[in-house]
Amino acid sequence: MNVTALDALMRPESVAIVGASTDSTKIGYTVVKNIIDGGYKGKIYPINPKANEVLGLKAYPSLLDVPGKIDAAVVTVPAKLVLSVVEEAGKKGVKGLIIISSGFGEVGNKDLEAQLVAKAKEYGVRIMGPNIVGTLSNAEKLNASFAPILPLVGKGALVSQSGALLIALDMATFTRKVGLEKLISIGNMSDVDFADLVEWLDKDDATSCISLYIEGFKDGRKFMEVAKKAIKPVIALKAGVSAHGAAAAASHTGSLAGAAKVYGAAFQQAGVVQATDLNNLFDLSLALSLQPPMLGDNLVIITNGGGVGVLATDAAEKFNLPLKFVPKDVQEELKKYMPEFGSAKNPVDLTGMAGYDWYHDSVKIAFSHKWTEGLVVLYCETAMTNPMEIAQGIKKAIDESGVKNKPVIVSFVGGEKSEKAMQWLVENEIPSYSAPDLAVHAISALREYARMKEIVSEPEDKLNNIDKLAALKVIRTAREDGRDALTEIEAKQVFAAYGLPTTITKLAKSEDEASALAQEIGFPIVMKIVSPEILHKSDAGGVKVNIKDDVSCRDAYRTILKNAKEYNANAHIHGVAIQEMAPWGTEVILGSINDATFGPTMMFGLGGIFVEVLKDVTFRVAPVSKKSALRMIEEIRGAPILAGVRGEEPRDRDVLAETISRYAHMIVDLQEEVSESDANPVLVYQEGRGLKVVDARIILKKK
Ligand code: COA
């Protein structure tokens, strides 16, 4: 990435406005006015072939006529003129363009957009947009946009793929009293994309936290790689989670993979905190821009009211930070600052009598203690206490503790005085919220962020016994046959090449062959139709299980063929698969899709009714380490079934995790070939006994 050009684009020493206008109804006028009104200290060059002056500034007919250097140019001329502006910008040595103009990829003019990028690349010019509102930075006092005003001063940056939303959020910084350092409209992302900006903002001294409003990535993996490396917290709000999964899917996994699941997995794997909605995006941005991550689970809640204490306790459980009692020595200390009827356990209830001193002293003790890893301070406004004094007591205690590596979050519930006190706290870098659950949600995000960052830094596993060539050979045979779907036998051969334990499965092309293979494998056996056109074998009456003798085997052979022909007269029938009948175990499903944004993506869940009805599955963008696979096993709702419930032995989660990891490796290795796949069911046995893939499906990419 050309960081120098992005530097110039984001922190320009001089800015031109191509299409600057004297007509106050035009965007070209508003941008010049905004740059002046924002207090920008660099040079401003309005460009207009007809005007001599715009808003008191000398105007130039073209970029090439400007005497000095130009770092960045805002483009506000109609789409059809933009390509020539890019050419001029290149010739002039402009480093970056903020192209506000619409009328490109978003309305189908993809070629014109591609031409802009190609031309810009020729000259090493970076493009923000097109189809954007512009870029706003408080540090630079630069409002290079047609959004009304620079946002309230804050420390976080917000990058938005929606222009209208960016303008709305700009104004909302004032009503919500949550400031922002930068607001960046990213539009069509023809050149500069989310990944570029995360990488750049991560190194920007003025930015402490990066928030993203995302409608979709062009290259999900590029984003993940950059986000994983980011030192600063990244928060994402993903919109449009419902449309993604709408495409018809040939596999079970394909039908279950929606954008919410795949993006959610990708964010988690990249250490990106996910916001649930716009309010939450603001709330989390406040917390993550002002406070350090929470490095452990020991949360202390201090309150003057039982009600808010209970609400916060409930929220702590909901947000995966269940409260524990504080150690006895801290309890003894804290008891000094509450009446007999208070509680020093956790939540620490100072009672309604608590004023400045009790808040100050208890906060200082709790925050300084080594056991505490995060602190939430709650306050209900009472007639006997002054919210501003309480706020000052909290701030003083935090300062005096000298502790800098733990987060503290506050919630005051009350009227105007509480509002003012909270605003004061925010100005003093202590995030404050109007409800206890919001405060707990915010601190849980700081915890979640730290947990994810630990995982991101885990090394990947090395896997042995992998025979990619054998897998490709099977795939080639199917391709030569003109098929996009592997038969079950072929899919199992591919799985076996990656070390997945599959049931012995052989193809019988006649009744006699079926009989011979059944003898060889040993009764009882399972028999299944093998036809590339019949993927849902049971629906076609193509599966017979628990066949115990030769007569039943021959009988089943004939019935299966008859049923298959009735089901689909045109189906190519390869024969009947004769398989060992694996002993019954806990059914799970493994599967994959080749996601349009993130590429090979892995699914795991409990099988049978759990996947059919409850859709109790979890996703990861592949590859997946064994450790991550163990987390997948633990995070599904049905996890206790695999851990062993009601006297049942625990299932072999170790082998299951290894199998998931191998499967994920396989789909990365074969991503040029495999579009979707399922291993369903996989039967998992008790600890030490492993598992068996009983049925397999692989759909190839169309070539
Ligand atoms: N160099 C510099 N200025 C030029 C020029 C050139 N080569 N050619 C024309 N201009 C001037 C025009 O003369 C005009 O100035 P004037 O008012 O003094 O005559 C100015 O540039 C603007 O051109 P105009 O044709 O009047 O366009 P406009 O202002 O009506 O619309 C856009 C231009 C870019 C605003 C419009 O095409 C557009 O894309 N609007 C949508 C923007 C948007 O919503 N973005 C996305 C938000 S999410």
Distance, CA 76 to ligand 1 centroid (Å)? 5
3-state secondary structure at position 97: strand
pLDDT at 494 over 60: yes
30 close to ligand 1 (CB < 6 Angstrom): no
CA dihedral 50, 56, 60, 63 (to 10 degrees): -120
82 close to ligand 1 (CB < 6 Angstrom): no
Rounded Cα distance, 77 and 201, in Å: 28
78 close to ligand 1 (CB < 6 Angstrom): yes
Q: How much helix, strand and coil, in percent to the nearest 5, is found in the chain?
A: 40, 20, 35
Backbone conformation region of residue 534, classed left if phi is above 0, alpha if psi is from -120 to 50, else beta: beta
Amino acid at 13: E
48 close to ligand 1 (CB < 6 Angstrom): yes
**CB atoms closer than 10 angstroms to residue 255:** 16
47 close to ligand 1 (CB < 6 Angstrom): yes
77 close to ligand 1 (CB < 6 Angstrom): yes
pLDDT at 249 over 70: no
163 close to ligand 1 (CB < 6 Angstrom): yes
Distance, CA 75 to ligand 1 centroid (Å)? 8
55 close to ligand 1 (CB < 6 Angstrom): no
Name the average pLDDT for the chain: 93
Mean pLDDT for the stretch of residues 671-690:
96
Mean pLDDT for the stretch of residues 7-29:
97
What are the residue ranges of helices labelled H in 203-340? 220-229, 252-256, 259-270, 278-290, 306-318, 328-334
648 close to ligand 1 (CB < 6 Angstrom): no
Query: pLDDT-based confidence at 250, cuts 50/70/90?
Result: low
Structure tokens at 365: 């003790």
Residue 67: asked if its preceding bond is cis (omega within 30°), the reply is: no
Atom of ligand 1 nearest to the CA of 133: 47
The better pLDDT of the pair 36, 258 is held by: 36
107 close to ligand 1 (CB < 6 Angstrom): no
Q: What is the DSSP letter of 611?
A: I
18 close to ligand 1 (CB < 6 Angstrom): yes
pLDDT at 51: 95
3-state secondary structure at position 703: coil
Rounded Cα distance, 97 and 7, in Å: 12
Distance, CA 195 to ligand 1 centroid (Å)? 29
130 close to ligand 1 (CB < 6 Angstrom): no
26 close to ligand 1 (CB < 6 Angstrom): yes
pLDDT digits (tens, 9 = 90+) for 546-560: 999 999 999 999 999
Distance, CA 48 to ligand 1 centroid (Å)? 10
pLDDT at 678: 94
Atom of ligand 1 nearest to the CA of 84: 7
For residue 181, give the H/E element and its range: strand 180-185
Amino acid at 584: W
pLDDT at 252: 66
Going by CA atoms, what residue is nearest to atom 12 of ligand 1? Answer: 19
658 CB-contact burial (10 Å; exposed 0-12 / middle 13-18 / buried 19+):
buried
Atom of ligand 1 nearest to the CA of 164: 48
Distance, CA 32 to ligand 1 centroid (Å)? 13
3-state secondary structure at position 73: strand
Mean pLDDT for the stretch of residues 45-65:
97
307 close to ligand 1 (CB < 6 Angstrom): no
Distances (CA, A) of 102 to 99, 110, 623: 8, 12, 39
Distance, CA 18 to ligand 1 centroid (Å)? 8
pLDDT at 2: 47
Query: pLDDT-based confidence at 509, cuts 50/70/90?
Result: very high
Distance, CA 131 to ligand 1 centroid (Å)? 12
pLDDT digits (tens, 9 = 90+) for 527-581: 999 998 887 888 999 999 999 999 999 999 999 999 999 999 999 999 999 999 9
Going by CA atoms, what residue is nearest to atom 21 of ligand 1? Answer: 19
Distance, CA 51 to ligand 1 centroid (Å)? 14
132 close to ligand 1 (CB < 6 Angstrom): yes
Atom of ligand 1 nearest to the CA of 146: 47
Q: Which candidate, 670, 681, 676, places its Cα nearest to that of 698?
A: 676
Rounded Cα distance, 345 and 361, in Å: 16
Structure tokens at 515: 């009989």
675 close to ligand 1 (CB < 6 Angstrom): no
